[in-house]
Chain A
Amino acid sequence: MSKVSVIGSGNVGATAVYYIAEKNLADVVMVDVIEGFPQSKSLDFLHAAPLREYNVRIFGTNNLEEIAGSDVIVFTAGVARKPGMDRMDLLKINATIARDASRAIARHAPDAVVIVVTNPLDVICMVVLRETGFEPARIVGQAGVLDSTRFRYFIAEKLGVWPGDVTAMVLGGHGDSMVPLKRYTSVGGFPIEELLDAETVESLIERTRKGGAEVINYLKTGSAYYAPAASTAKMVESVVKNERRLIPASVFLDGEYGYRNIFLGVPVYLGAGGVLKVLELALTDDEKKALDSSAEAVREGVKTLDSLYEQKIL
């Protein structure tokens, strides 16, 4: 049985554990800084096991040493975005948490694939890359799966079809700067433009872009976690079962799509060992332009990160 350690036992982390358990994907270690918190969650999960019939081990701890030997690390630790807060406001707090966790990951789970969920995603991925010293293929950020599952749901809802039959490809940074590829969005193989008019598609894209915010505004406190956790669990599954799924994810680019030294959402094959290959799709001028500005936003974030390093805040 594979071992997956989830660092951060908040809503996203705990719900990801739920999905992992329900599919019997791996034994799980839940880690959190709050004393008693991960222990309480793991116990609660285990109490449900006789009814739900999963047979994975779930162990809660405050000690990062317990991640030893993990095949996959899911990194969800950090503070959540609050209404009115943008992702960059989060950077200072979450980068520090990511730095400390990454050093522990490098020490105790040197062979793990790290799936990063914490925002601002593309920048936190960079922190994990620098601080673990892992080869880039083993660090992958969860963003595109979430953006595309939201887009897929909105399309399915509009058409009255099963959401599982809708496929969508979304590139770029997470959320506001995502770049949905309409040409690569289809329903049971039917290109989306044969089923919906351009105006409707645009409105669904806009809703997807603001998908996270829509949920936050309803909740008032806290942010979405079911869809983010489902997206994360899907990536965990692709790695532990070596499914080689073609999914959008934030990965370190070394010339692909013309970018270097940044994490950006692109289609990748995900399997055992992390990113197996980046798929380079032909983009239209508009798509490339949108991806450029997405990359620019990520670069800005990395600049801020660099200044934190220079000021020895990190």
Chain B
Amino acid sequence: MATVGIIGSGNAGANTAFFIAEKGVSDVLLYDIKEGLSTGKALDLMEAAPIRTYRTRIAGTDSLEEVLESKILVLAAGSVRTPEMKREELFDANVGLIEDIAKKVRGRDARIIMVAEPVDLLTALFVIESGIPREHVLGVGGILDSTRLRYAVARNLDVSVEDVCALVIGRHNEEMIGLARYTTVSGVPVLNLIEEDSFLALMDEVRSAGDFIVQMAKRSTAFYAPSAAIAELVDALVRDTRRLFSVSILLKGEYGIENVALSLPVVLGSGGVDRVCLPKLKKTEMKRFRASARGMSDYLGRSAG
């Protein structure tokens, strides 16, 4: 069975291991800079296995070198936000760690799932610093925003969440763009079922969902939905599910934009991103997407197309 290496055994990392185990997707190796933490979490998870009947092997290590040998790496390490903090403020705190890992995996045939914030900036940076093809570096952005929109639409309409398909693209912060035309309930476009104003209100909720949870939880950020999103990406990579997910990917000419990472829908299989699917954007949506790209390229000190 494949082994997924998870760097960072905090809430997001450990719960990702939990969801992967429950789905029986792959074995898991946890790593954390804090000595013993990974081994402790792994043991706790394994001790639940007889009751939950998963057969996945979960282990912990204190060796960064050991975890980096995994073909699939989840980068869930780094600082997380406190209330009143924006995701971008984490850049300085996390950039060193991500650059260090990028250098260590340079040239390897690895699949990277970026969870550390600010996710779009670090996804772009990682591709540039590691030389790993952009198709192999996935940022957990749009998939999380989309799952939140699916939930919001299902709750609003009082229908099964599984029937709701939603697409949120762009930057994983307040600039995210929810595409009503690509949001459906059992194939029925959502605007056939709710007014546009209601959709926009739901998008506002999604936009602020991360902030809301930080403010409520005070000492932690959201991690259940992020972990579920990560586990779903791992599943696609391991089992070649070829699902369509919105992930943050370094752009190479999509909508004429280069060298920044933003979420777009991709078909995901064991080889990473099989193809990027470009939604037809309305003028206003395109304008917002480009504005996000410009803001990011300023941050990265590189020019977007």
| Cβ–Cβ < 8 Å partners of B280 in chain A | 194
- A269 near B165: Cβ-Cβ < 8 Å: no
Beta-carbon nearest neighbor of A170 in chain B: B187
B244 at interface by CB-CB < 8 Å: yes
Number of residues on chain A facing chain B (CB within 8 A): 31
* 7 nearest A-B pairs in the assembled complex, by CB-CB distance: A188-B244, A189-B182, A184-B187, A167-B187, A246-B186, A243-B160, A189-B167
Closest B residue to A238 by beta carbon equals: B160
Q: From A53, A187, A190, A191, name the one whose CB has the most chain B CB atoms within 10 angstroms.
A: A190
27 contacts between A and B (CB under 8 A): A162-B244, A167-B187, A168-B187, A169-B188, A186-B187, A187-B244, A188-B244, A188-B277, A189-B179, A189-B182, A189-B265, A190-B244, A191-B182, A243-B160, A243-B162, A244-B159, A244-B160, A245-B159, A245-B160, A245-B162, A245-B163, A246-B186, A247-B163, A247-B186, A279-B188, A281-B188, A281-B192
List the B side residues contacting A119 at CB < 8 Å. Answer: none
User: Which A residue's beta carbon lies closest to that of B186?
Assistant: A246
Contacts of A164 in B (CB 8 A): 243
Complex Cα distance, B4 from A106, in Å, reads 55
B277 in contact with A190 (CB, 8 Å): yes
Distance of A117 Cα from B185 Cα, bound (Å): 25
Residues 155-184 of B at the A interface (beta carbon under 8 Å):
158-160, 162-163, 165-167, 179, 181-184
A161 part of interface (Cβ distance < 8 Å): yes
A144 to B45 CA separation, bound complex (whole angstroms): 42
* B107 CB-CB contact with A under 8 Å: no
Q: What mask results when residues 131 to 162 of chain B are scored 1 for a CB within 8 Å of chain A, else 0?
A: 00000000000000000000000000011101
Interface of chain B residues 188 through 232 with chain A (CB within 8 A): 188-189, 192-193
Chain A, range 161-181, C-beta contacts under 8 Å to B: 161-162, 164-165, 167-169, 181
Q: From residue B264, how far is it (CB to closest CB) to chain A in Å?
A: 12
**Is B36 part of the binding interface, using a Cβ–Cβ cutoff of 8 Å?**
no
Shortest distance between the CB of B175 and any CB in chain A (Å): 20
Are A169 and B186 closer than 8 Å at their CB atoms? Answer: yes
| CB of B242 within 8 Å of the partner chain | yes
The answer to the question of B267 belonging to the interface, with a C-beta cut-off of 8 Å to chain A, is yes
- In chain B, what residue has the closest Cβ to A244? B159
Taken together as a complex, chains A and B put the C-alpha atoms of A53 and B51 apart, in Å, by: 12
B241 at the interface (CB under 8 A from A): yes
Closest to A279 in B: B188
B53 at the interface (CB under 8 A from A): yes
Interface positions of A from 153 to 212, Cβ below 8 Å from B = 160-162, 164-165, 167-169, 181, 184-191, 194-195
Interface members, chain A 33-56 (any B CB < 8 Å): 53
Give the interface of B toward A (CB within 8 A). 53, 158-160, 162-163, 165-167, 179, 181-189, 192-193, 241-245, 265, 267, 274, 277, 279-280
A-chain residues with CB within 8 Å of residue B184 when the two chains form the complex? 167, 184, 186, 189
Interchain nearest-CB distance for B207 vs A (Å): 18
| A13 touches B (CB below 8 Å) | no
CB <8 Å contact, B265 and A190: yes
- Whether B242 pairs with A269 at a CB distance below 8 angstroms is no
Q: Closest CB of chain B to A194's CB: distance in Å?
A: 7
A165 contact from B181, B182, B186, B243, Cβ within 8 A: B243
- The one of B53, B165, B185, B241 in contact with A188, judged by C-beta atoms closer than 8 angstroms, is B165
Residues of A within 8 A of B160 (CB): 238, 243-246
Answer yes or no: A267 CB below 8 A from chain B CBs.
yes
A161, A168, A244, most chain B CB atoms within 10 A: A161
Known: A238-B160, A244-B158, A246-B159. A188 touches B187 (CB 8 A): no
A313 within 8 A of B: no
Given A162-B243, A189-B265, output 4 extra A-B contacts at Cβ < 8 Å. A160-B267, A188-B243, A189-B184, A279-B193
Residues of B within 8 A of A160 (CB): 242, 267, 274
Least Cβ–Cβ distance between B161 and chain A, in angstroms: 9
- B233 CB → nearest A CB, Å: 13
A161 touches B242 (CB 8 A): yes
A165–B236 Cα distance when bound, in Å, is 12
- Can you name the residue of chain B whose Cβ is closest to the Cβ of A192? B187
Q: How far is the CA of A184 from the CA of B279 in the complex (A)?
A: 16
How far does the Cβ of A257 sit from chain B's closest Cβ, in whole Å?
Answer: 15
A1 at the B interface (CB under 8 A): no
Please indicate which of the listed interface residues A184, A189, A244 has the most CB atoms of chain B within 10 Å of its own CB: A189
Q: If the complex has contacts A190-B265, A245-B162, A245-B163, are A162 and B188 also in contact, measured as CB distance less than 8 A? A: no
Most chain-A Cβ atoms within 10 A of its Cβ — which of B186, B189, B241, B245? B186
Q: State how many angstroms separate the Cβ of B164 from the closest Cβ of chain A.
A: 9
A169 to B184, CA, bound (A): 11
In the bound complex, do residue A269 and residue B244 qualify as a contact, i.e. CB atoms below 8 Å apart? Answer: no
CB-defined contacts of A85 to chain B, threshold 8 Å: none
